[in-house]
Structure 1
Amino acid sequence: MKITTWNINSVRLRMPLVVHFLKTNAPDVICLQETKCRDAEFPSSDLRALGYEHLAVNGQKGYHGVAIASKLPVRLLDKQDFCDAGHARHVAVEIDAGGAPLSLHNFYVPAGGDEPDETVNPKFAHKLGFLDEMTEWIKRERIAAGRSVLVGDLNIAPLEHDVWSHKALLKVVSHTPIEVEKLNKMFEAGEWIDSMRRFVPPQEKLYTWWSYRASDWAASDRGRRLDHVLVSQALGGALAGLQVAREARGWERPSDHVPVTVELSL
């Protein structure tokens, strides 16, 4: 079973890229973030035409938004609104995979703005609060107790080699110590397995995002690993493969994130 996560940065604008990716890579499930459209405007017909007939969408006008499209039947589990902000940042489904149910959570964690100081930057304060609530919810609801997968743009690069320069980014939102600490607490709350680092050792560079600000993103290669696939302990033995589609960053009118696909042997 192949599960892809991708911050698409406007699904309607970049639907041709989604179609191309699905035709050439054919994951069983794709989880999209930052869809930036209301549920009624989501391009469901395009996905169904490619065999992704089962959809769970949580959108809003112009901002945020998450969606799951699956070849396999899904049952909607949840749409959490953390911090009571009214943001569409989470959707969860249950999938029958390998003869048993698997829960799949798709998240878009707030980016946090530019200033890493919650006393002067409400967006950063919101990000930290979101992570705190997310962690407590995972504990309380025992989200990772069974066969569970958590994917998405978590907007934090936690490890030294998840960024192009650990030293240069210590005071840059997405790699600050307080963000990393809170993300690690969330990891610990579910005893999650960082599936990407099962395939790429922590001492090797691994990126999923490259800024639009770079005149030549590939040459400068100043990336960050903001996108994650976490699996519960029950699925640790099922991890079978990883693909980070770096080439997608070079497509015409790309997202600044690339698709990440994890394969499970179920």
Structure 2
Amino acid sequence: MSAVPQSENQILLSLQKDAILHLTLNNGAANALSIGLMTALRDAIIAAGADDSVRVIVIGHVGKVFSAGHDLKELTAKRSDADKGQAFFKQTFDLCAALMVSIVECPKPVIAVINGLATAAGCQLVATCDLAIATDKATFCTPGVNIGLFCSTPMVALTRNIHRKQAMEMLLTGETIEAGDAKDYGLINRIVPEDYLDQVVTKYAATIASKSQLTVKTGKKAFYAQADMGLREAYDHTARVMTENMLAGDACEGIEAFIEKREAKWSDS
């Protein structure tokens, strides 16, 4: 996947720099996760997962809002349908689930970069990404309870990534939390000054991109697989994964390079 000319009318901007693919949400002031944006983002992630030239995916945003979640105007417009919108509502939430699963199943690490508000399904997107870097201007919330629509699908990502009581607090109160609290909760990894955001993200992503692609793919897949297992099953599974990993060419090369005190040359095999 290579860099493509961008247009202000594109709801998802895509630009590849070296091995890092930058996907930028550009869907108006709210960066609403409309059908169009979710489809474009899911398709871009799936394509990047199969592209050997991409080693890391970064999801950022244009404007002051990372994403305000689902497009409520788009959803509300369908209430006039014969089924009162039921089919469209199901399509929307099924597509959102498919997007989140595509991030988890993508063999490449996905990093969210937040310099503004991430709310509802936007907060869900942050929680779903493998890593998240934010500025001190970033804020997060799951405010569905305030409008009579509990954030049930964002709940899935929250309860798998932050402490349960804090997830429940966010879901029940709908209140906004600051970046510092989000880091304490485990929702984001780092808080960096806005002026240094691009520099830190580039270095962070480049560090990950420099690793063996096979090793990173193996580790990410195992991480999510073992997280849902019992203790003994998780150890059995990861022992099998490490055994297979030891037989890979990059493990042989990496260990030999470490012993010989030289830089490893990855073949991604």
Compare relative contact order (CA 8 Å, sep 6+) and give the higher one, 1 or 2.
Answer: 1
What is the TM-score of this pair, normalised by structure 2?
0.32
- Compare the two structures and name the one with the higher strand fraction: 1
- Compare the two structures and name the one with the higher helix fraction: 2
